[in-house]
Structure 1
Amino acid sequence: METLAILGASSQIAKDLIRSLVRDGQSSLLLYVRDCEAMRAWLAGEFAGQPHAPLRVAGYDEYDTVPHDAVLNFVGVGDPQRAAQMGGDIFAITQQFDDLALAGLRRHPQRRYLFLSSGAAYGSDFAAPASADMRATVAINALQPQDYYAVAKLHAECKHRALPDLAITDLRVFNYFSRAQDMAARFFITDMLRAIRDGSVLHTAPGFMVRDYLHPQDFHQLVRRVLDGPAANQALDCYSAAPIAKPELLALMQRRFGLRYEIGETLPGAIVNATGGKPHYYSLNRKAAELGYQPAFTSEKAITLESAIMLGRPAVLDQIMDAK
């Protein structure tokens, strides 16, 4: 059985992956976090009475004291409001934990390293979706705070490509959605969910955008493909079976969940745009398909399924399951 180390194991996307890895039963997990007691409490509640592979929780000061086959680095911020508050500190945090993983990799070059990157590494120019030929753009003479997150990810990826003999895979996540999403986070999707939950009206600007929401099962599939595939130094864009445009997303949430919304000028501060505006924030780069990755969920299906569970709408959930 392989042993996987997970840095930042308390993040939402890491917890979702832990659930999937426990279910597939192929790995023992070393979980590294700041608050060990909180992580142990979560594990006790999540897997109580369930047989599973070994799960060990430790602080970061213990990293690399236990042998492992691969390390997955989830340390970072997933909420745009937190990213905005963090400001330039994002550089030091990203580098600190990236260097921690790389130091272990240099001591054990047979080990694999999966780094959670972001579509933001391409920069802020998403007038068109990302592609294999797209260049990263950085306003080097006019850097703004919303650029810091993207530059931190790009810097880490550049470091990784400069180590071609090491098996490092950067997974660029564009948008990700699961039932464990923090409803207080400032994403467009959570703004909609709060409006539905509270019975309020969502006020949204008229601008057009397209987003690609990755489902946890597809993310797990991609991670599994990387771990089971040939060792490589590479970057892979994450993608669902199909993205969704803002008008279709609003209509979907209105039809399925009764969302009420108004399109017009939004109040100052109503939108948290910590990484810049991106009208077409998704990728057409299908390099991951070379590993056998085939997403099972469209953005529409992922959002409908996970939202129905979050909002406690069994009727909608039954409709989705009946449609399979």
Structure 2
Amino acid sequence: MNSSAARIPLIDLQPLIANTQARYAVAAQIRQACCDYGFFYITGHGIDETLQQRLEELSRQFFAQDSDTKLRISMAKGGRAWRGYFPVGDELTSGKPDLKEGLYLGAELEDDHPLVQAKVPLHGRNLFPDYPVQFRATILDYMTAMSQLGHQIMSGIALSLSLEASYFFNRYTWEPLILFRIFNYPAVPYTPEQWGVGEHTDYGLLTILKQDNSGGLQVKSRSGWIDAPPIPNSFVCNIGDMLDRLTGGFYRSTPHRVRNLANHDRLSFPFFFDPNFAAEVKPIEGILADSSQEEFSDRWDHANIHALQGTYGDYVLNKVSKVFPELRQSVL
């Protein structure tokens, strides 16, 4: 059931971005939102609106092409970097095909970068299409801007936990794993069991989502599923499994899902700001989890992320290998 009573908070980040005294009030808002929803909208983020509009328009042009043209940069050609295009139905959530197509992207690393030389999975070059001609430059500009914003939001999350603003940067995000997706949800009839993307949580620390104006995102709140409709020039932020683990469940990674009910295609731009691939993610000392939170047995996947051993790379590779089973050998 969809509840209309609950509303995801809207937070003006400007004092945090400007590093004024009012940043502590912003941090308090982030704390409340993370405890209540695991989701919040942000305004005052400083991301150029023209850049956002250009990204959306070029993405529409790319997805409007025929399948053979898009498949010239298929993920099968991306190798260990795990980049490229996939068609509708190729990506799985909980073993079920999603009704979306998309581009997998990430931090652009040259072939001589040490991590590429070492053949570390999920690191390397992107596969960019020849058309639209400005797509490559626009995507790279957007990822640069969003990476900076990711650091700023994580400083606010640190303050919200009564930590030094640099806590996450010093331990986990000095060189974050940046994964960026551009998804297109076509306008197709849905059966009751079908979703554009089914119920899931995100893997890492923070997701910063740009939506188009179609709607369709739903968040699982304590009162039931609620809508997270688009708000002009805002982003939707949500915390992932690693922040859940770091805080012992005090900040819970919240399930969400998407169904495109518009009569036109829906674009979505999730930007994942995650721990360094080699970082070992350990609980933060002194944070007591809320005992009223759901136990891991009630998670959508019944996983206990608080029993995680090893690095973030270990965790994320285990996850992505289930998303595209036929490509799993390219990253493992």
TM-score bin (small chain): under 0.3
TM-score by length of 2: 0.26
- Give the structure with the higher percent helix: 1
Per the normalisation by structure 1, the TM-score is 0.26
